[in-house]
Structure 1
Amino acid sequence: MKAAPESATSTDADVEERETLLDVPGGSSNGAGKLVEIPVDKVMTTLLFLFPAVGGLLFGYDIGATSGALVSLKSAVTSGTSWYDLNAFQSGFVVSSSLLGALAGSAAAFVVGDKLGRKREILLGAVLYGGSAALMAAAPNLEVLLIGRTLYGLGIGFTMHAAPAYIAEAAPAKVRGLLISLKEAFVVIGILLGYLTSYLFIDDVGGWRAMYGLAAGPAVILLAGMAWLPDSPRWLLLNGDSREKAEAALIRARGKFGNDLERIRIEIAAIARSVEEAQADENPGFVGLFRGRFLKPLLIGSSLMLFQQITGQPSVLYYAADIFEKAGFGAGKDATGVSVLLGFFKLVMTGVAVFTVDSLGRRPLLLGGVSAMVVALLALGGSQLVLSGGMATWTSVIALLIYVGAYQVSFGPISWLIVGEIFPLAVRGPASAIATITNFGSNFVVSLVLPSVQDAFGPWGTYLAFAAIGVVAVSTIFAIVPETKGKTLEEIEALFDGKAE
C-alpha cells in the first residue's frame, strides 16, 4: 500500500489510513489506532461459497459415478446394451472424455473467461452439466455417451476455472483460505455421492444411466443459485463497469453488514486502486504471461496443477471400484462399498486440511502431505512386487488410505487455493485458465493411458513411477511455492512485483 502524498488533504490521508488498515486480514480502525475484526455475515458468505462449490461437487460426482458406471457398463449382466464389451482404450476414453471436455472448456475460458465474468462462466457450466447429464442417461450407443461426457467436461472446465476466482474475489479476505479449501471438500462430497450412487445402482440393469443422469438435479440448483448471486465486484471494475455497480454488488456480498457504507466505499476504493494499477500495465498477451513478474506465479500455479494429476491419485479414483475388485474385495457391491468407505475417509482428511490451512499454512501442508504420498506409493509398489495373498491386499489397502489421506491435506485443496489467490489481477483470468488447462490436460492423459500402462508394467511399476514424480514435486514445492496465509490478494501480488515489505 503506497503512503499518501504529502500534498494530500487530511481527509485523503484518513481514507488512505483506513484503506491500509482494511488491507490487513480481519482488521479495521476502531478510532484508537487498534485493529478490530471486520464482521462477516455468515449466511451470505455461506451462499457466496455454496453455489459455486456445487460446480466442484458435480466434478467430484463424475469421478465417483464413473468408477461404478464403468463396471456397470462393461458387464454383460448389468449393461443393458449390446456394446458393453469395451477394450482398454475404450474404457479409458469413457473415463477421460469428460477430462477432454474439461480441457477444451479451460482453453475456451482462456479466450472468453474475462469477457463472460466469473458468474456467467459458472452459469454456462451449470447448463452444460444439466444438459449433458440427461444426454448420457439416454445414450443409445457409445458415441452419444462419449459426446455427453465431453459436454459434461466442458461444464467442468468452465466451473472449475471460475469458481475459485469468484470465491476469492467475492468473499471476505479473512475467510478466503477456508472457503476455497472447503470447495475441495465439496469435490470430495461429490466423489462420495458418486460412490454411493454407484453402490445403489451397481446391480441394476442399465444402472450406469441413473449414475450419470442424477447429476441433473444439482445442476439445476447451481443454475438457480448463481443466477441469484451478485457479480464479483473486482470483475465488474476490471470489466469497466462503474464504481456504483461494483459497490452495489459488494453491498449484496456483505449481507447484513453491507449497510456500513463508509467501510464498503473504503473497500471499493482499495479494489479500484488495484484494478487501476492492473489496467495501467500493458496487456501482456499470451507470451507476456511467461515473462517478468507474471512468470513465477504462473509457474507456481501450473506446476501445482500438473503435479496434482501426475502423482496419480485423481486418476486412480476413477478406477477405484475396479482396483478394489482386483485387490480381492469381490465384484459389484463389495468393491463399490469399499469405495464408499474410501470416499468418507477422503472427506474426513479434507476437513483436516480445511480447518488447518489458515493456521498451519499452505507450504507445511503441501510439503508434509506430498512427502507422505511418496512413502505410501513406495509401499503400494513394494507390496505388489514382493508380497502375495492377504498380506499384499491389506498392505495395499493401508498404503492406499495413507496415500489418499496425504493427498487430501496437500494437493487436493491447497493447489486450488493457491491458484485462486496467487495470480496478479491483470492476468488472473488467463493465468487461471492456463493452470486449469494444465490440470485437466495432464488428468486427461493420465486417465486415458492408465489402463494400458497398468497392463504393460503392472500395478507395482505404475505406483513406483508415481512415487518418482512425487519426489520431483516435493523438490519443486520447496523451491518456488511461497507462504500466502493471512495475506490479502493485493499483498500476495506484491510478493512478485517488488513491493512487499
Structure 2
Amino acid sequence: MNNPAHLMQSFCNDSIRERYNVQLSSYELQVLWSVIVSVFLIGGVSGSLIASWLSDRFGRKGALSIGNVCGIVGAVLFMFVRIMNSVELFLLGRVIVGLSGGLATSLVPMYMTEIAPLKLRGAVGVLCQLGITCGVLMGQIAGLETVLGTSESWHIMLASFSPLCLAALLLTVLTLPESPKYLYIIRGEQGKALKELSRLRNMDIMLLQNEIASLQQELATRSANKTWSIKRVLREPTVRLALFLVCLLQFGQQLSGINAVFYYSNTIFLSAGLGIAGAQYATIATGVANMGMAVISVMVMSLFSRRKVLFLSCYLCIGCLLFLKLSIALIHKASFMSWLSTVLVLAYVISYGIGLGPIPYFIGSELFDVGPRPSAMSLGSMFNWGGNFLVGMMFPSLQAAIGSYVFLIFAGCIQILVIINQTYLPETRGRNTTEIAAAMTQGFKSKPNATFAA
C-alpha cells in the first residue's frame, strides 16, 4: 500500500467528486485514507476473535478454507473497484481481506504446531512468520512503479495475492490432513485421528506410541473440564499467566517499532543519496533481509532455546534502535551517518526476524493444551492486530512531535517485554504442552523456570 498510496488517494478523491459532487479537502482526504487503512486492522481483529469458534466448529482445515475464501472474495472486490469507481467496494474489500488475515494469523501457527512432531514444533511454527515476510516482500515488489504500482494497475496489485489464496484453498481441501489433535481430543474421533497421524508421519501407528500417549494424556485432561470458550479462558485462573504472556508477546511485537522502522526507511535511504528508485529497491532489500532471517530462524528454533533466542533478538533490536536514533539526529552533521542509518535499518530488521518476529506467533501453541489453545491464540492475535492499529494511529503524531526520539519509546517497550518474560516465560523447546501448562497453573505466583534451565 505504501508506494502507490498517492495513486489510491487520488482515485478516492476523484471518485467522491464524480459520484457525490463533493470536493474533499486535504484533511478530509487524509481522514478517508486513514479509514481505508484502518478497516483492514478492524477486519484482522474480527477474524482473530472468530477463529477459535470456527476452528472448533469446522475443524482446522475448514477454518483455514474459510479464511482463503475470504481472501479470494476480497481480491475480486478489489478488481471491481476501478471498474465500478467505488470507494465503498475498496473499503469492503479491505475489511474482508483483513478478516482473512486475522484468521490466518490465528489458525496457521496453531495448525502447524499441532501437526508437527515435538522436536520440530518450533521450526514449523516459524513458517508462519516466513509466510508473512514473503507476503510483505511480494507486496513491496508488486507496488513498484515498474511492476503494478501505476494509476492503471494499482487495483490489480491489491488483488495479486489471490492466486496464492486459491492454491492454498485447493491444497487445504484436497491434500492437507486434519489436525490429529483436533480429531482425537476435540471431536473424539480417535480412529480417524490415528489414521491421519500415521499419514502425517509416514509410519505405522504401532511406531507412534509416544505421540499416542501424549494425545491420551491431553484427552484425559480435557475430559475433566468443560468446553473452553474465550469467556472461560479470560476467567480461568489456571491459564491466566499463559494468556498474559501470549497477549503480551503479540502486543509487544508490534510495539517493538518494526513498522515504524519500515516507515522511516524510505526517508533514510533517500537521505543516503539513493534516489527515489534506489530508496524503493533498498526498502525491498529490507524485505529480503526479513525473509532471509525467517528462513534462518527455522533452523535456529530447532537448535536453541526459545528464551535465549527471544532475549538475544530483543537486546539486539534495542541496540539498533538506540544507535538509529543517534544516527538520524546526526544525519545532517556527518555524511557517513546516512549510510550508518541504512546499515542500522537492515541490522534491526535482521535482529527482529531471528526471534521477536516469529516467536510470538507460535508460542501460544506451546503454552496451552489443545482445549484452551484456539481461544488463547485468537486473543493473542487480537492483541497483535490491536498493537498494529495503535502504532499505526499514534506513530505519525509521535514522529511529528518528537521526531526520531520515538525510537527510544520502542526501545523502552522492548526492554519491558524482556523484563517480564525473563521472570515468567517458561522454556518450551522439547517440552510437552501438558507439562508446560501445569507449571503455570498458579498464575503470577508460578515459577515456571524453577526446575528448568533456560
**Which of the five TM-score ranges fits, normalised by the shorter chain?**
0.7 to 0.9
Q: Give the CA RMSD over aligned residues.
A: 2.8
State yes or no: 1:372 paired with 2:316. Answer: yes
Which of 261, 277, 293 matches 2:205? 261
Q: Map 1:367-446 onto structure 2 (within 5 A).
A: 367-388=311-332, 390-446=335-391
Q: Matches of 1:471 and 1:265 in 2, distance apart?
A: 43
Equivalent residue number for residue 67 of structure 1: 2
Q: Secondary structure at the match of 2:431?
A: coil
**Contact 1:72–1:206 (CA<8 Å) still a contact in 2?**
no
State yes or no: 1:477 paired with 2:421. Answer: yes
Shift of 1:122: 0.8
Q: Map 1:71-220 onto structure 2 (within 5 A).
A: 71-74=6-9, 87-139=29-81, 140-199=85-144, 200-201=146-147, 204-220=150-166
Q: Matches of 2:263 and 2:31 in 1, distance apart?
A: 15
Task: Assess, with a 3 A threshold, how the Cα gap between structure 1 residues 461 and 207 changes in structure 2: closer, same or farther.
Answer: farther
1:468-497 deviation digits (Å, cap 9, x = unpaired): 212212212212112111223333334335
Q: How many residues align?
A: 429
Equivalent residue number for residue 179 of structure 2: 232
**Contact 1:325–1:335 (CA<8 Å) still a contact in 2?**
yes
1:247-298 deviation digits (Å, cap 9, x = unpaired): 222222223x2xx131346633531331221231244652554543211111
Shift of 1:152: 0.3
**Contact 1:119–1:162 (CA<8 Å) still a contact in 2?**
no
1:120-156 deviation digits (Å, cap 9, x = unpaired): 1110110011110221233123332122111101001
Structure 1, unpaired ranges of 5+: 1-65
Which of 425, 430, 437 matches 1:486? 430
Q: Matches of 1:105 and 1:192 in 2, distance apart?
A: 23
User: Structure 2 length normalisation: TM-score?
Assistant: 0.86
Equivalent position amino acid for 1:430 in 2? S
**Contact 2:110–2:362 (CA<8 Å) still a contact in 1?**
no
Shift of 1:326: 6.8
Deviates further, 166-175 or 298-307: 166-175
Shift of 1:352: 2.9
Equivalent position amino acid for 2:399 in 1? Q
**Contact 1:358–1:486 (CA<8 Å) still a contact in 2?**
no
Q: Matches of 2:437 and 2:266 in 1, distance apart?
A: 43
Structure 2, unpaired ranges of 5+: 17-23, 443-447
Equivalent residue number for residue 20 of structure 2: none
Equivalent position amino acid for 1:352 in 2? I
Give the fraction of aligned pairs with identical amino acids, expressed as a percent: 27
Equivalent residue number for residue 248 of structure 1: 195
Equivalent residue number for residue 295 of structure 2: 351
User: Structure 1 length normalisation: TM-score?
Assistant: 0.78
Equivalent position amino acid for 2:198 in 1? I
Equivalent position amino acid for 1:422 in 2? L
Q: Secondary structure at the match of 1:484?
A: coil
**Contact 1:110–1:430 (CA<8 Å) still a contact in 2?**
yes
Q: Matches of 2:96 and 2:15 in 1, distance apart?
A: 24
Q: Matches of 2:223 and 2:409 in 1, distance apart?
A: 44
**Contact 1:275–1:426 (CA<8 Å) still a contact in 2?**
no
**Contact 1:304–1:415 (CA<8 Å) still a contact in 2?**
yes
Deviates further, 346-355 or 448-457: 448-457
**Contact 1:94–1:146 (CA<8 Å) still a contact in 2?**
yes
Q: Matches of 1:266 and 1:356 in 2, distance apart?
A: 25
Task: Assess, with a 3 A threshold, how the Cα gap between structure 1 residues 92 and 117 changes in structure 2: closer, same or farther.
Answer: same
**Contact 1:306–1:439 (CA<8 Å) still a contact in 2?**
yes
Shift of 1:157: 0.9
Shift of 1:72: 4.1
Task: Assess, with a 3 A threshold, how the Cα gap between structure 1 residues 247 and 216 changes in structure 2: closer, same or farther.
Answer: same
Q: Matches of 1:461 and 1:254 in 2, distance apart?
A: 51
